[in-house]
Amino acid sequence: MRVAVDATPLVGPRTGVGAFTAGLLEALAARPDVAPSGYALSWRAWRSLAAALPPGVRHIRRSMPPQPLRACWLRADTPPAELWTGEVDVVHGTNFVVPPTRRAAAVMTVHDLTPLRFPELCSGDPLYYPRLLRRQLARGAWAHTVSQFVADEVIELLGADPERVVVVPEAIPPVADADPDEGRRLARAERYVLSLSTVEPRKDHLSLVRAFDRVAAGHPDVRLVIAGMEAWGSEHLDRAVAAVRHPQRISRLGYVSDAHRAALLRGASVLAFPSRYEGFGLPPLEAMVAGVPVVATAAGSLPEVLGGAALLVPVGDDAALAEALEATLNGDGVRDRLVAAGRDHVGRYSWERSAQGLADLYRRAVAAR
């Protein structure tokens, strides 16, 4: 099968969607039954895309200008993707948006429905996603979701045909075998609570700052380290840090390289993931790979994705989050139990399995077309 994949998320700082796209393309390229190619739904990403594509993935050299095309696609089923991709069997939009097609089957990956559930937590292009998703479903696109939680929401909130909504969990990006001491050097502490996610309201760093402040006095050697690209709303985090009793023990590193990310994970005492809403959740799984205990909220898909391998607390409950952090920092056996459970749990995720699931979905979509 000739599959054209939106590889735009590979260019620039890697977010969770970028990690998903990279892992999927590498796994598809390793299969004998799929011939993947990558296109850019961005003028800026077009020139950098060739260097970002994994080996074995053909570079589609024509770029689709996103803004005018999205305006067209909201109102009409033209222009079709094949004007840029050439003749292919499947067009796969990895980041919500899949163009209309002439003959190819269309598959769109829906990572979550934050713009519908919590529009106040969004800004920019994602606010247009609900209209685009409904339009894409109406023209016959198949919905790939990364969790059953998101699949249920796509059916409930977007009115999708359940037969055309397929769950294929993503897998875990490799976590390099980095030196934990390098992570501690970056954190400027022997023990630290690590937050590893984009700084935006949905990730609820405000609750984490307040929860850490509750346990900080009892653990004077522990720091809170917030690593992740600064997105919108970071000024609220500025004010939250300034308002607590121990602001000097909170570090904000911004976006970190893959090498520093791995080192921070390997050296962390606990990973905290207090998201308010989540469609999958890669950082907790990466922490489990690294042998680090996880404290997370029971938000969205996280109970499904993390199972019993993490301590889960109610969304926005600072006291419960602080209690869970305290339990992992005290070293009374909770940490060892979580580390062992996490290492066992991550074995269920692999890119080979994800690629198999997507290849099966492509075949179904082509047959239905």
Span 145-204, pLDDT tens digits: 999 999 999 999 999 999 999 999 999 999 999 999 999 999 999 999 999 999 989 999
H or E stretch covering 29:
helix 16-29
**Pair 152, 214 in one domain:** no
- Lowest mean pLDDT of 61-70, 106-115, 158-167, 317-326, name the range: 61-70
Q: At what angle do helices 129-138 and 66-73 cross, to 10 degrees?
A: 60
Do 31 and 72 reside in the same domain of the chain?
yes
The per-residue pLDDT for range 77-135, each reduced to its tens digit, is 999 999 999 999 999 999 999 999 999 999 999 999 999 998 887 777 778 889 999 99
- Both 93 and 13 in a single domain? yes
Does residue 160 share a domain with residue 193?
no
Q: What is the mean pLDDT of residues 338-365?
A: 97
Q: Which residue has the tokens 């207090």?
A: 274
- Residue 199 is given by DSSP the state B
Residues 163 and 184 in one domain: no
CA triplet 286, 296, 284: central angle to 5 degrees?
A: 5
Quote the distance between the C-alpha of residue 270 and its chain's center. Answer: 20
Q: What is the pLDDT of residues 238-290, one digit of tens each?
A: 899 999 999 999 999 999 999 999 999 999 999 999 999 999 999 999 999 99
- Separation CA 199–CA 202 (nearest Å): 8
Cα distances from 268 to residues 81, 133, 225, 272, 318, in angstroms, run: 45, 38, 9, 10, 21
Q: For residue 139, what are the contacts with CB-CB under 8 A and spacing of at least 6?
A: 77, 100, 106
Quote the pLDDT of residue 48. 84
Residue 331 has pLDDT above 90, yes or no: no
Q: Is the Cβ–Cβ distance between 95 and 112 less than 8 Å?
A: no
Q: Which residues of 96-110 are buried (b: 16+ CB within 10 A; e: fewer)?
A: bbbbbbeebbbbbbb
How sure is the predictor about 346, in pLDDT bands with cuts at 50, 70 and 90?
Answer: very high
If one counts the domains in the chain, the total is 2
Domain check: are 270 and 355 in the same one? no
| Confidence label for 13 from pLDDT (cuts 50, 70 and 90) | confident
Query: Of 41, 46, 34, which Cα lies nearest the Cα of 99?
Result: 41
Q: Is the pLDDT of residue 44 over 80?
A: no
Shared domain for 205 and 330, answered yes or no, is yes
Rounded CA gap, 289 and 33, in Å? 30
For residues 184 and 192, the answer to whether their CB atoms sit within 8 Å is: yes
The answer to whether 206 and 242 have CB atoms below 8 angstroms apart is no
| Angle at CA of residue 184, ends 182 and 190, nearest 5° | 145
Same domain, 262 and 121: no
- Residues 79, 208, single domain; the answer is no
- C-beta atoms surrounding 145 within 10 Å: 27
CA dist., res. 153 & res. 78, Å (int): 28
Q: Taking the model in full, what pTM does it have?
A: 0.93
pLDDT (average), residues 25-47: 90
Domain residues for 9?
Answer: 2-171+350-368
For 352-365, what is the mean pLDDT?
A: 98
- What three-state secondary structure class fits 58? strand
Collapsed DSSP state (helix, strand, coil) of residue 290: coil
CATH number of the CATH domain containing 288: 3.40.50.2000
Domain identity same for 340 and 359: no
Q: Identify the band that residue 349 occupies on the pLDDT scale cut at 50, 70 and 90.
A: very high
- Judge if 102 and 154 occupy the same domain: yes
- The verdict on 88 and 142 lying in the same domain is yes
